[in-house]
């Protein structure tokens, strides 16, 4: 499954190869309640077809008009700002006065697009440096912790799987978790030393290792862009991974199981492995947001929902029915 940016970039290549002109817009800065994050992209074909999104549709409509008229990025890459005034915000449908800054560029041989797409399809993390004066772009190796940068002279965007997910267990649930994670731009690794599970694992783009879980966590160099999820139901495997992951900077560590199993797990980790209370408090379990699901795809969705909430700093609350996202501050939008 293609990540969002890869899908947009592949569509750009397809259109260019068919002889169309293509303009690419990238969000480089936002204020207020902007609808799409920094790095989001929209591609617009010369006849008005659109791939991707930077605003949900309203800003794209204006850009389509300019592309058809040949006025957008006509002289080279340019910075375009939407939503500075109340009138613009209302016109373009930007909520609560949100503002978008976009770098727009007309794509061509100078854009390095083929090299960029090939690198992303190879699951590499790369940066693309666009020179605003010449329109030429250079693709170089990147790091998962790199951020998009724009200083007016050049745009450095980051592409490829910038987040990593290590799944302990190669069962049915892992297949759905891995597929959802790939759609959310995670580089997925499956760890399962059990022959009966590992032999049947097949999922394009998700690497499988049969090493022991604790060794894999250490070898990965688990960092703040890494999530570790244990789903085997076997303490001999899950606990090994959790022991190392809870002591690491991983932004999310979770394990499947009931409340009773989670209490027993915490007791084991505390008693036999000397994990501190603070380290144990990092463990998400029972895993996933409470959405009422029971099937493997629904459980996988709840797991990725919780990972996404943690990744974006949402406040979570534990209730009698499970973990939920705390209600948003009703004044947050007005104060942004």
Domain boundary among 126, 159, 192: 159
64 and 193 belong to one structural domain: no
262 and 122 belong to one structural domain: no
58 and 18 belong to one structural domain: yes
177 and 289 belong to one structural domain: yes
DSSP code, position 48:
S
Q: Is residue 174 part of a domain?
A: yes
CB of 309 within 8 A of CB of 316? yes
- Spell out, as residue ranges, where the chain has pLDDT lower than 70: 1-4, 32-35, 56-57, 84-86, 88-97, 328-336
11 and 138 belong to one structural domain: yes
215 and 234 belong to one structural domain: yes
Domain boundary among 134, 159, 184: 159
pLDDT at 185: 81
Q: Is residue 333 part of a domain?
A: no
CB of 256 within 8 A of CB of 234? no
297 and 217 belong to one structural domain: yes
Q: How many domains does the chain have?
A: 2
Q: Is residue 297 part of a domain?
A: yes
How far is it, in rounded angstroms, from Cα 277 to Cα 272?
A: 13
Q: Is residue 336 part of a domain?
A: no
97 and 213 belong to one structural domain: no
64 and 144 belong to one structural domain: yes
Task: Supply 44's token pair.
Answer: 């617009």
Which of 310, 26, 297 has the alpha carbon at shortest distance from 154? Answer: 26
Q: Is residue 330 part of a domain?
A: no
174 and 320 belong to one structural domain: yes
pTM over 0.75: no
pLDDT at 334: 38
Whichever domain contains 299, its CATH number is 3.40.50.720
Q: Is residue 234 part of a domain?
A: yes
Strands 252-255 and 226-230: parallel
Omega before 129 cis (within 30°)? no
Which of 105, 130, 131 has the alpha carbon at shortest distance from 43? Answer: 105
Q: How far is CA 59 from CA 15, 64, 99, 291, 298, in A?
A: 21, 9, 11, 33, 34
DSSP code, position 289:
B
pLDDT at 153: 97
The residues near 239 (Cβ < 8 Å, ≥ 6 apart) are 265, 268, 269, 273
12 and 94 belong to one structural domain: yes
177 and 62 belong to one structural domain: no
Q: Is residue 334 part of a domain?
A: no
Q: Is residue 191 part of a domain?
A: yes
How far is it, in rounded angstroms, from Cα 236 to Cα 234?
A: 5
* CA 62, 66, 67, 72 torsion-angle sign: negative
**Domain extent at residue 227:** 163-325
The residues near 217 (Cβ < 8 Å, ≥ 6 apart) are 166, 228, 241, 244, 245, 248
């Amino acid at each position: 499954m293609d990540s969002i940016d890869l899908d947009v970039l592949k569509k750009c290549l397809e259109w260019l190869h068919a002889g169309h002109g293509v303009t690419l817009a990238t969000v480089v800065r936002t204020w207020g309640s902007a609808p799409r994050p920094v790095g989001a992209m929209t591609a617009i074909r010369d006849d008005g077809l659109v791939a991707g999104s930077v605003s949900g549709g309203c800003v794209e409509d204006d850009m389509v008009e300019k592309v058809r008229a040949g006025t957008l990025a006509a002289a080279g890459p340019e910075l375009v700002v939407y939503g500075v005034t109340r009138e613009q915000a209302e016109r373009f449908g930007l909520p609560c006065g949100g503002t978008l800054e976009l770098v727009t560029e007309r794509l061509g041989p100078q854009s390095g697009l083929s090299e960029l797409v090939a690198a992303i399809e190879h699951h590499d993390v790369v940066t693309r440096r666009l020179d605003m004066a010449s329109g030429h772009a250079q693709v170089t190796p990147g790091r998962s912790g790199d951020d998009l940068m724009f200083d007016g002279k050049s745009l450095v965007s980051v592409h490829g799987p910038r987040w990593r997910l290590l799944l302990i267990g190669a069962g049915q649930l892992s297949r759905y978790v891995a597929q959802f994670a790939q759609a959310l731009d995670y580089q997925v690794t499956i760890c399962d030393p059990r022959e009966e599970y590992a032999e049947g694992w097949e999922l394009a783009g998700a690497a499988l290792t049969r090493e022991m879980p604790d060794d894999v966590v250490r070898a990965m160099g688990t960092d703040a862009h890494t999530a570790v999820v244990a789903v085997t139901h076997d303490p001999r495997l899950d606990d090994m991974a959790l022991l190392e992951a809870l002591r690491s900077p991983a932004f999310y560590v979770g394990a499947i199981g009931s409340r009773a199993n989670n209490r027993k797990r915490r007791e084991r980790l505390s008693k036999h492995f000397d994990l501190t209370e603070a380290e144990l408090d990092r463990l998400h379990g029972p895993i996933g947001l409470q959405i009422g699901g029971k099937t493997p795809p629904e459980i996988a969705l709840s797991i990725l929902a919780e990972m996404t909430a943690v990744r974006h700093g949402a406040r979570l609350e534990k209730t009698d029915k499970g973990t939920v996202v705390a209600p948003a501050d009703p004044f947050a939008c007005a104060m942004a």
